[in-house]
Amino acid sequence: MITAHFFDGHDARLQPVGLDVRNDHLHVDAPGFARSYPLTDVALAEPFEQAPLVLRLGDATCEVPYGPGRQALLAALGYRKSAVERWQARWPAALAALVLLLALLGAGFVWGVPAAAGFIAARLPASVDIKLGRAALAGLEAQGMLAPSRLSDDRIADVEALLPRALPAHPRVPVRLLVRSSDALGANALALPDGTIIVTDKMVRLALDKRNELDDIGQAELLGVIGHEVGHIERRHATRAMTGSSLTAALSATLFGDFSAVAAGLPAVLTQMQYSRAMELEADDYAIDVLRRNGREPDDLADILEALERQHPGEGDVPRWLRRSMAYLSTHPDTAERIERLYKAGP
């Protein structure tokens, strides 16, 4: 006989009762009344260490206060722990859950988010790209980062003439090339999601020879740069990177948001860097194809990357997402690796 508190579910009266399990029935006995329930009708709520046991008997409820009779009652009721209850009952298992959780989060951010971002980005309509691209260009212009080119019209025409040679037979989106002067961006080239490529004056000057002419080598160098940007556009890198980072941000906020903004921001930055590295290499591969198609070698792109590396232009004013996902700058941590890779791909 185990003492318990009985509530009939119709009023709030607490009735002290005795519980007994006999012949597959739970017997509830009190001076005033006696009831019996088949064990199949007795629902035992998940027991916690020190909380009263809760037995649900249809409308009625029985609470068994924490005490010595508890284990005997659980055994008599034929209680078996569920998998989750067994898991959370023991410390080693709980700590294993912690390790698993960290592994799962790591895998999710390293592989899951890029895969999901690729999946989502592939299903975003092209109108999203156009909107993003226009907004990015308007943003750059509003911040005074782009000004009309100071190069001669002939020179601009020379550069623009390179674009068709870098394009595939059937481009994914119409691509246009703008030559612009920019102090903030330095020697640089950007690919906006809508298919706009921006090449800065300084980048063009970097490709000029000693007599300030755009010779074959200079043309090939710029072709490599433009090819790299076309690669970004063809592979839709900007949209993918932005989908990925907003996905990461949303996930981080869901998981960690309520206790630490710092923890929430970190994974987003980490994955974004990972993205851009993989994407830069992909765009380089595309540029190598473009150069080969035009009878040149990847060395030409490597040469201008090296020239960039020596330049150290200011990059402080470039918005972070733009810098990471679209620009390749001399201070990019992977530039040395990329140059080496391009030389290796050479003849």
Partner 1 sequence: MHLPDDGPFDEQTSHGLSFSGSGAEYFRIWIVNLLLTVATLGIYSAWAKTRRLQYFYRNTQLAGASFDFRGDPKAILRGRILAVTLLATYHYAFGFSLKVGVVTVALLLAGLPFMMRSALRFRLSNTVYRGLPFGFAGGIKEAYIVYVVPVAIFVLPGALVALMPGSPLVGIIFLLYLCWPLMHGAMKAYQHKHLMAGDQNATFTLDTASLAKPYVRAFLIGLGLMVVVGLAFGLSVFLARGQKSTAAFAAFLPAILAVVAMYLYVLLMGPYILVRMNNLAWSATSFPGVRITCAMRVWPYLRLQTVNVLLTLLTFGLFRPFAAVRTWKYRVAHITIDAPDGFEQAVLAARRPPAAAAGDGIADFLGVDLSW
Cβ distance to partner 1 smaller for residue 47 or 231? 47
- Positive or negative CA dihedral for 341, 342, 344, 345? positive
Q: Does 16 bind partner 1 (CB under 8 A)?
A: yes
Beta-sheet pairing, 196-200 with 176-181: parallel
CB of 319 within 8 A of CB of 329?
A: no
Q: Does 106 bind partner 1 (CB under 8 A)?
A: no
Spatial separation of the C-alpha atoms in residues 342 and 305, rounded to whole Å: 10
DSSP category for residue 45 = P
Q: Does 147 bind partner 1 (CB under 8 A)?
A: no
Spatial separation of the C-alpha atoms in residues 244 and 117, rounded to whole Å: 5
Cβ distance to partner 1 smaller for residue 169 or 262? 262
CB of 228 within 8 A of CB of 189?
A: yes
Residues 6 or more apart whose CB falls under 8 angstroms from that of 66 comprise 50, 51, 52
Report, in Å, the least distance between residue 305 CB and partner 1.
35
Of residues 28 through 47, those in contact with partner 1 by CB under 8 A are 45-46
Cβ distance to partner 1 smaller for residue 40 or 91? 91
Q: Does 346 bind partner 1 (CB under 8 A)?
A: no
Q: Which two tokens stand for residue 137?
A: 């260009």
Reduce the DSSP state of residue 17 to 3 states and report it: strand
Q: Does 100 bind partner 1 (CB under 8 A)?
A: yes
Cβ distance to partner 1 smaller for residue 12 or 169? 12
Report, in Å, the least distance between residue 110 CB and partner 1.
14
Q: Does 256 bind partner 1 (CB under 8 A)?
A: yes
Q: Does 72 bind partner 1 (CB under 8 A)?
A: no
Spatial separation of the C-alpha atoms in residues 1 and 68, rounded to whole Å: 12
Please select the residue that binds partner 1; options are 20, 29, 35, 108, rule is CB under 8 A: 108
Please select the residue that binds partner 1; options are 71, 91, 142, 170, rule is CB under 8 A: 91
Q: At what angle do helices 237-256 and 216-234 cross, to 10 degrees?
A: 50
Please select the residue that binds partner 1; options are 5, 25, 205, 235, rule is CB under 8 A: 5
DSSP category for residue 334 = T
Please select the residue that binds partner 1; options are 38, 67, 106, 144, rule is CB under 8 A: 67
Spatial separation of the C-alpha atoms in residues 287 and 294, rounded to whole Å: 11
Q: Does 263 bind partner 1 (CB under 8 A)?
A: yes
Of residues 170 through 229, those in contact with partner 1 by CB under 8 A are none
Cβ distance to partner 1 smaller for residue 61 or 181? 61
Cβ distance to partner 1 smaller for residue 24 or 91? 91
Query: DSSP string of 159-217?
Result: HHHHHHHHS-SS-SS--EEEEEE-TTT-S-EEE-TTSEEEEEHHHHHHH--TTS---HH
Residues 6 or more apart whose CB falls under 8 angstroms from that of 279 comprise 232, 235, 237, 240, 241, 325
Q: Does 278 bind partner 1 (CB under 8 A)?
A: no
Please select the residue that binds partner 1; options are 42, 255, 266, 307, rule is CB under 8 A: 255
Spatial separation of the C-alpha atoms in residues 106 and 127, rounded to whole Å: 33
Please select the residue that binds partner 1; options are 40, 80, 84, 347, rule is CB under 8 A: 84
Residues in contact with partner 1, counted by CB under 8 A, come to a total of: 51
Cβ distance to partner 1 smaller for residue 46 or 209? 46
Please select the residue that binds partner 1; options are 81, 131, 293, 320, rule is CB under 8 A: 131
> Which residues sit at the interface with partner 1, rule CB under 8 A?
3, 5, 7-14, 16, 45-46, 48-52, 54, 59-61, 63, 65-68, 84, 87-91, 94-95, 97-98, 100-101, 104-105, 108, 128, 131, 254-256, 258-260, 263
